[in-house]
């Protein structure tokens, strides 16, 4: 082997060892809601993200509430975008999703500009390449599916990551709740994506060099200077909650002093200046300002009087903006000062919806769910474990009995609080109850509908013959349940009945 080849091999081995010694990080992005005012989806982010990075979610279908929470129907798509992740290698991405009862398919393509990191063609949700079984949205749970990248690629500057999720062409939908990025920051520093708390400065407030501030008015904060217009101004971005601000595209200004005058330096180390009225610039012209705090806002006047004062302008026929005017008729912006960064709220306890369950071998599905205290717990993910996997298995809280016996299912928090809850699972024989069909039915079957008439409240469960839970409720009186054609197991109280629709 030539010397150059040996050297290249040695350098490659050293690089692999170096990468392996760097601690992998985890960034979680949960879709919270669609903010109409800001025209964007709000994400609840936690973990660690590359410093200066940002994330955005887009859903072509648009639904984020109720029964259609982040639905991705057939022929529609949704996408996560990750910006400024240079110096990082994406290891895997975990999708937290569910399907539309027994239907729904999707494809996924993950790219860094033109570099394909992962691609999966349209596949049914119950395929082993996805979750391996249907998980109905009616169960109220989302399951984790992890995809490892097929290409290890260190993200370069100006390479944006697109995670494109497309629904299939057949009837059925999927629903997405959260994605988790496992990555290695090779040449990047990391930080918390939790928002910052800001407080309004008024006449009696004080400011000093080193304070970090934003310009804010009427639900909008100042962003970058639009240099493509005749009169350059600062764009605005919606900020719904000044106690939780994390929008990297905003201008976060660090106040400084220059011979007794104030300077505004943004996160990119650019100083805010003014060339003339209605003409803001970076790092040129007049970059010193006088600040007077009032109850009506902050008078931020350029030291060149001809350049005027920064004001908020929201004309009916154009976009809202922050710019510098000599006119005194427009509203002043408020200065909001950064107080501190928010921290994750950890769980103090968790409680499962059952401490014990008795399952029959023919009952293929049982669901355990956890309630967190406090309700505002940031990271509400759980890890699941079963003491004897020969008796039953557990996956995302879904329990499947395998053999007669007793085992314990454990749910544990992942936020570092080291809290767990457990449920004892007793698996018993089916007792050939499914073959007992000559019983008095407390309902009538008409076409595909069960017509119930119960004199007292009773628990009702309906399963497919392979054990998939179709519905579970407590009810009394007269009501109806409509099913598709097929064979079902109906449990009413202690009665178990096999029916054909």
DSSP labels, 19-71 = HHHSPPEEEEEEEEEEETTTTEEEEEEEE-EETT-EEEEEESS---SGGGTTE
Provide the pLDDT for residue 32. 86
Provide the pLDDT for residue 323. 97
* Beta bridge partners of residue 88, listed in sequence order: 185
Give the C-alpha separation, 47 to 227, whole Å: 35
Question: Is residue 150 within a helix (H) or strand (E), and if so which, with residue range?
Answer: none
CATH of 433-500, one of 2.60.40, 3.40.50, 1.10.10, 2.20.25: 2.60.40
HSE, CB side, 13 Å, CA atoms: give it for residue 388. Answer: 14
In the chain, ranges of CATH 2.60.120.260 domains? 18-191
How confident is the model over 165-190, as a mean pLDDT?
95
Provide the pLDDT for residue 11. 42
> pLDDT tens, 398-446?
999 999 999 999 999 999 999 999 999 999 887 644 443 334 567 888 8
> pLDDT tens, 435-468?
433 345 678 888 788 888 887 888 888 887 666 7
Provide the pLDDT for residue 15. 44
In the chain, ranges of CATH 2.60.40.1080 domains? 349-428
CATH number of 18-191: 2.60.120.260
Give the C-alpha separation, 303 to 321, whole Å: 21
* Beta bridge partners of residue 281, listed in sequence order: 273
- Tokens 């999927």 locate to 174
Question: If pLDDT is split at 50, 70 and 90, which confidence band does 38 have?
Answer: low
Query: Judging by DSSP bridges, how do beta strands 405-413 and 420-428 pair with one another?
Result: antiparallel
> pLDDT tens, 279-317?
999 999 999 999 999 999 999 999 999 999 999 999 888
CATH number of 349-428: 2.60.40.1080
Provide the pLDDT for residue 136. 87
| Confidence (pTM) | 0.75
**What are the percentages of helix, strand and coil residues in the chain, rounded to 5?**
5, 55, 40
Domain 196-341 architecture: Trefoil (2.80)
């Amino acid at each position: 082997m030539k010397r150059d080849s040996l050297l290249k091999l040695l350098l490659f081995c050293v690089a692999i060892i170096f990468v392996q010694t760097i601690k992998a990080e985890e960034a979680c992005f949960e879709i919270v809601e669609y903010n109409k005012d800001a025209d964007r989806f709000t994400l609840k982010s936690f973990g660690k993200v590359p410093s200066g990075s940002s994330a955005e979610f887009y859903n072509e279908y648009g639904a984020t509430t109720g029964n259609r929470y982040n639905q991705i129907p057939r022929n529609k798509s949704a996408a996560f975008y990750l910006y400024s992740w240079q110096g990082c290698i994406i290891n895997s991405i975990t999708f937290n999703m569910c399907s539309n009862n027994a239907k729904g398919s999707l494809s996924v393509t993950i790219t860094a500009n033109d570099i394909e990191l992962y691609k999966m063609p349209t596949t049914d949700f119950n395929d082993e390449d996805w979750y391996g079984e249907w998980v109905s949205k009616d169960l109220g749970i989302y399951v984790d599916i992890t995809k490892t990248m097929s290409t290890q690629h260190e993200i370069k500057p100006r390479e944006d990551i697109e995670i494109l999720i497309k629904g299939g062409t057949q009837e059925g939908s999927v629903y997405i709740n959260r994605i988790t990025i496992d990555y290695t920051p090779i040449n990047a520093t990391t930080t918390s994506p939790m928002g910052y708390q800001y407080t309004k400065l008024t006449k009696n407030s004080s400011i000093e060099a080193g304070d970090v501030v934003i310009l804010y008015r009427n639900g909008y904060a100042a962003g970058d200077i639009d240099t493509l217009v005749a009169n350059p101004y600062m764009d605005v971005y919606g900020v719904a909650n000044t106690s939780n601000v994390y929008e990297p595209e905003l201008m976060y200004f660090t106040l400084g002093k220059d011979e007794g005058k104030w300077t505004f330096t943004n996160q990119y180390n650019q100083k805010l200046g003014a060339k003339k009225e209605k003409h803001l610039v970076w790092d040129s012209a007049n970059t010193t300002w006088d600040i007077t705090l009032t109850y009506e806002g902050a008078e931020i006047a350029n030291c060149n009087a001809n350049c005027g004062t920064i004001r908020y302008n929201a004309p009916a026929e154009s976009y809202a903006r922050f710019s510098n005017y000599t006119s005194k008729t427009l509203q002043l912006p408020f200065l909001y000062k950064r107080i501190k960064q928010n921290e994750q709220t950890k769980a103090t306890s968790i409680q499962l919806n059952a401490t014990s369950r008795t399952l029959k071998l023919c009952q293929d599905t049982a669901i355990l769910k956890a309630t967190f205290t406090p309700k505002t717990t940031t990271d509400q993910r759980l890890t699941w474990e079963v003491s004897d996997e020969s008796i039953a298995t557990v996956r995302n809280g879904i329990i499947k009995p395998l053999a007669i016996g007793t085992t314990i299912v454990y749910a544990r928090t992942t936020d570092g609080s080291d809290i767990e809850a457990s449920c004892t699972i007793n698996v018993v024989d089916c007792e050939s109850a499914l073959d007992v069909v000559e019983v008095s039915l407390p309902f009538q079957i008409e076409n595909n509908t069960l017509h119930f008439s119960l004199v007292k409240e009773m628990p009702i469960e309906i399963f497919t013959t392979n054990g998939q839970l179709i519905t579970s409720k407590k009810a009394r009186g007269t009501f109806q349940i409509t099913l598709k054609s097929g064979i079902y197991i109906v449990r009413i109280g202690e009665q178990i009945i096999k029916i054909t629709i």
